[in-house]
Amino acid sequence: MTLRAAWLTLALIAWPAASWADDKQACAEAAQEAQSLRDAAKLSAAREKLLFCARQACPKVVRGDCAGWLEEVDRAMPTVVVQARDAAGRDLDGQLFVDGRLMKPALTGEAVALDPGKHRIVVEAAGGQRLERSIVVALGEKHRRVLLELAAPAAPERAKPAAPLPPASLPPDRSAMPWVLGGVGVAGLVTFGVLQVLAQGEYQEAKDGCGSTRTCSDGELSPIRTKFVASGVALGVGVVALGAGVTWRLLESPQKQERARVSVHSGPGGAELRAALRF
């Protein structure tokens, strides 16, 4: 046998031994990593490792442990069943994404295994609709139904009826105006009486004096005439003011007060009473 043939024979004998050693090491490492991932609640990653170390190619001891741990992980791993519906309640089909990862190209009603914890479920329906929902699944929870529904279109907002206007404030039932007019009337009558007494007295004196001789001047008679005129004005103001006050009081009500306006204006020629009524 040549030297080259001897080396080839040695290599063929050593190769299976080296390959077997590598597989044993890989199986052992997978089993160890699977336990760490399981303890961290990363059950999906742990399951992949356990499937590797439970193969027939792994040593019997490792393979047996991994198979037992795989059953435990499968019992503990939560599963969900995702459904999607439109606003009318009809089933929708579409791609299923979990945490941004494509899990199913179509919704088949089959359970999907997830790690325990919070997840974002997204369904991209065939019609272009996108449905989303966040869920939290518990350890060992099986076949949890997750329903994603399209919201019905919002109804047009109806115009709100205008708020009723607050009632207009009404004037008091009784005002002081009738009393003011009454006071003006009484003062006018009193003034009339005083001026009449003075004018009559001065007139009588003038009549008995310069009047008997017909020598009265305008300067003597003018004050007397002024008092007579002023008394007449005072009488008119007094009578009108008293009448207005009494009328106001008789007709007084919240509505009628708004409809009636009475004012007294004095001037060099006398007094003027102005009244305005609305019907």
The answer to whether residues 202 and 131 belong to one domain is no
The answer to whether residues 207 and 272 belong to one domain is yes
The answer to whether residues 262 and 205 belong to one domain is yes
Q: Average pLDDT for residues 12-16, to the nearest whole number?
A: 41
Question: Would you say residue 154 lies in a domain?
Answer: no
CA distance 230 to 232: 5
Task: Please choose, from the candidates 60, 31, 59, 57, the residue with its C-alpha nearest in 3D space to the C-alpha of residue 46.
Answer: 31
**pLDDT, position 271:** 53
**pLDDT, position 145:** 94
The answer to whether residues 250 and 185 belong to one domain is yes
Question: Would you say residue 170 lies in a domain?
Answer: no
Question: Would you say residue 156 lies in a domain?
Answer: no
The answer to whether residues 67 and 86 belong to one domain is no
Higher pLDDT, 221 or 31: 31
Question: Would you say residue 2 lies in a domain?
Answer: no
The answer to whether residues 183 and 221 belong to one domain is yes
- Which residue segment(s) compose the domain that 206 sits in? 177-277
- For 266, list phi and psi in degrees, rounded to 5: -105, 150
pLDDT band at residue 10 using 50, 70 and 90 as cut-offs: very low
Beta bridge partners of 22: none
The answer to whether residues 225 and 259 belong to one domain is yes
Beta bridge partners of 79: 113
CA separation (Å) from 9 to 1, 3, 6, 12, 273? 10, 10, 5, 5, 144
The answer to whether residues 31 and 55 belong to one domain is yes
**pLDDT, position 266:** 54
Question: Would you say residue 181 lies in a domain?
Answer: yes
Count structural domains, the chain.
Answer: 3
Q: What is the 3-state secondary structure (H, E, C) of 193-220?
A: HHHHHHHHHHHHHHHHCHHHHCCCCHHH
Question: Would you say residue 184 lies in a domain?
Answer: yes
The answer to whether residues 83 and 106 belong to one domain is yes
Task: Please choose, from the candidates 222, 227, 242, 244, the residue with its C-alpha nearest in 3D space to the C-alpha of residue 192.
Answer: 227
- The model's pTM: 0.47
The answer to whether residues 60 and 119 belong to one domain is no
Radius of gyration over alpha carbons of the chain, in Å? Answer: 58
Q: What is the CATH number of the domain that holds 134?
A: 2.60.40.1120
Task: Please choose, from the candidates 274, 74, 257, the residue with its C-alpha nearest in 3D space to the C-alpha of residue 173.
Answer: 257
CA separation (Å) from 140 to 26, 77, 162? 29, 5, 57
The answer to whether residues 216 and 257 belong to one domain is yes
Question: Would you say residue 166 lies in a domain?
Answer: no
- Span between the terminal Cα atoms of the chain, in Å: 142
Q: DSSP class of residue 176? A: S
Task: Please choose, from the candidates 85, 68, 73, 54, the residue with its C-alpha nearest in 3D space to the C-alpha of residue 113.
Answer: 73
Task: Please choose, from the candidates 232, 228, 225, 226, the residue with its C-alpha nearest in 3D space to the C-alpha of residue 270.
Answer: 232
CA distance 231 to 237: 10
Question: Would you say residue 196 lies in a domain?
Answer: yes
Contact 112, 118 (CB under 8 A): no
pLDDT digits (tens, 9 = 90+) for 229-256: 777 777 777 777 777 777 767 776 555 5
